[in-house]
Amino acid sequence: MIVFDKLWKTMQDKGVTTYQLREKSGIDSKTVRRLKANENIETKTLDKLCHALGCRIEDIVEFIDD
C-alpha cells in the first residue's frame, strides 16, 4: 500500500500549510483530499509536490507491505 504520511511530516517540518502547498504546486483541493485518504494520484502530481516542497519522492511517499 502506498501512503502519504511522510508528506504531512515534510510539510510540517518545512512550515508549509495545505493552502500554501496548493498554491505552490498547482494542485486542487480534490487532490489534497485524495492524498489524505491515500488514494491513487498521478505521477505528475508527485513531481509537482516534490518541486513545491524542494524534496525527494521518498520524503513524501512510502510503500507499506500489507
Residue 45: is its pLDDT beyond 90?
yes
The domain in which residue 48 lies consists of 2-63
Residue in this structure with the C-alpha cell 510503500, named with its chain if needed:
63
Taking residues 9-33, what's their average pLDDT? 96
What's the pLDDT at 41?
A: 96
- Rounded to two decimals, the pTM is 0.91
What's the pLDDT at 4?
A: 97
Q: Residues 6 or more apart from 29 whose CB is under 8 A from it?
A: 22
Q: How many CB atoms lie within 10 A of CB 36?
A: 12
Domain count for the chain, please give it.
1
What's the pLDDT at 66?
A: 80
Q: Residues 6 or more apart from 27 whose CB is under 8 A from it?
A: 21, 45, 48, 49
What's the pLDDT at 6?
A: 97
- CATH number, domain with residue 43: 1.10.260.40
